[in-house]
């Protein structure tokens, strides 16, 4: 079997909750050896987020599979020195503390690169390491609020059903930066520091909205066009229509026996409201299943709006192996998503469940030269778990 793309890459993961762990999840799934560095008491807070699987939460399992765990007290000098030794063997460190915390702990990039100049050090924070918001607390809803993501023109803003800013602005941007730095590291032997701001990351991907910001077309792809909108069905479910290209709109109109609407493709304001009323009445005349069946073989970008549970049973999702169910002795059946990338060199699989807190402490410390007596002493003095 061929090696995975990131085989041989070692990552020390100081992050918790969602943005950082989702980033390192992708690295782990692609073959990196990701070691979670956790505090002694509860470790990553996500371990206890309901609902619980058994020993770990369902959410923790979803973003921490294929990783290992070491529990260290980084606030004590012995723990800091242990981490420094670990960092000498690492390719990548990812952290998500507030700005300045790693400096207080003595595990910042400038300190660690002295003994490991090839080190890639990525900091993921809400607002970045600079600027007036640098030290502000925040969560996904705040980053979305600041960047216009929640804006609904004259409508009541609503919260998306997953954390767009955390994942797009944080996890994926961090992974992209780390992989770019890794390529440069392999070519030059040098590492670097990466400052990831979740707010920056979500703003930078709002390009369709940016294109319209000064042109009076706010909402162009958020419901202002009849050809790109959501329509309710007779059973109080919904269909999504995405006929942006004229050919799709033409096919849609002919499929609903309304060829007279073809000329009203890209319309706005009063004309748009008339088309909305006509198309809405048509969709409301029958059930979601009826419309799903009707448009199944018509290529015009019409799809049912599914719940997540329905999506897990969707034929396309199944065909792409995007649902993974693993049975573990201590946890039972664990439901997770698959890797959203398909490589020709390897077939993805979940090789390890999310680790117990400190499960691999002894194993990793032995690997970097600590003796069993030294490890026992560190455990007795509560430097490690």
Q: How far is CA 42 from CA 34, 71, 135, in A?
A: 19, 10, 25
In angstroms, the CA 277 to CA 260 distance is 14
- Give yes or no for a cis peptide into 51 (omega within 30° of 0): yes
Contact in structure between 94 and 24 (CB atoms under 8 Å): yes
CA 148, 152, 156, 161 torsion: positive or negative?
negative
CB neighbours of residue 310 within 10 Å? 11
Residues listed for the chain: 385
Classify the C-alpha dihedral 24-28-32-33 as positive or negative: positive
85 CB-contact burial (10 Å; exposed 0-12 / middle 13-18 / buried 19+): middle
Active-site residue, 166 included: yes
Q: Where are the alpha helices (DSSP H) in the chain?
A: 19-29, 58-64, 77-87, 101-105, 109-112, 140-146, 164, 173-188, 198-204, 207-212, 246-255, 269-283, 288-294, 308-312, 315-319, 361-367, 372-380
Catalytic: which of 166, 195, 293, 313?
Answer: 166
Going by C-beta distance under 8 Å and a sequence separation of 6 or more, which residues neighbour residue 2? 345, 346
Instruction: State how beta strands 238-242 and 228-232 pair.
Output: antiparallel
d(CA 172, CA 192): 18
Q: Could you tell me which of 146, 41, 39, 58 has the C-alpha nearest to residue 97?
A: 39
Q: Which residues belong to the active site?
A: 166
């Amino acid at each position: 079997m061929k090696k995975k793309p990131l085989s041989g890459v070692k990552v020390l993961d100081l992050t918790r909750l969602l943005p950082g762990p989702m980033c390192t999840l992708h690295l782990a799934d692609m073959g990196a050896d990701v070691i979670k560095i956790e505090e002694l008491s509860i470790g990553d807070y996500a371990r206890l987020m309901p609902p619980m699987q058994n020993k770990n939460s369902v959410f923790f399992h979803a973003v921490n599979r294929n990783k290992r765990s070491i529990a260290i007290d980084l606030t004590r000098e012995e723990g800091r020195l242990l981490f420094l030794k670990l960092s000498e063997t690492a390719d990548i460190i990812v952290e998500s503390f507030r700005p300045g915390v790693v400096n207080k702990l003595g595990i910042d990039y400038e300190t660690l690169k002295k003994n490991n100049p090839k080190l890639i050090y990525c900091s993921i924070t809400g607002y970045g390491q600079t600027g007036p918001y640098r030290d502000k607390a925040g969560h996904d809803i705040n980053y979305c609020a600041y960047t216009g993501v929640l804006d609904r023109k004259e409508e009541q803003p609503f919260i998306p059903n997953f954390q767009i800013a955390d994942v797009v602005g944080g996890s994926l941007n961090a992974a992209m930066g780390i992989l770019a730095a890794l390529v440069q590291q392999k070519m030059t032997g040098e590492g670097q520091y990466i400052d990831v701001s979740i707010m920056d990351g979500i703003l930078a991907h709002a390009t369709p909205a940016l294109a319209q910001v000064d042109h009076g077309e706010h909402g162009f792809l958020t419901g202002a066009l009849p050809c790109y909108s959501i329509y309710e069905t007779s059973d109080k479910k919904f269909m999504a229509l995405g006929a942006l290209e004229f050919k799709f709109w033409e096919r849609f109109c002919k499929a609903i026996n309304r060829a007279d609407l073809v000329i009203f493709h890209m319309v706005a304001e009063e004309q748009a409201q008339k088309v909305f009323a006509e198309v809405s009445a048509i969709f409301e005349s029958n059930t979601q299943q009826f419309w799903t069946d009707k448009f199944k073989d018509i290529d015009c970008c019409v799809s049912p709006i599914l719940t997540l549970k329905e999506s897990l049973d969707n034929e396309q999702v199944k065909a792409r192996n995007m649902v993974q169910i693993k049975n573990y002795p201590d946890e039972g059946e664990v439901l997770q998503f698959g890797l959203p990338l398909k490589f020709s060199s390897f077939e993805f699989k979940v090789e390890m469940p999310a680790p117990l807190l400190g499960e691999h402490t002894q194993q990793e410390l032995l690997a970097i030269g600590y003796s069993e007596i030294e490890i026992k002493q560190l455990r007795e003095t509560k430097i490690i778990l």
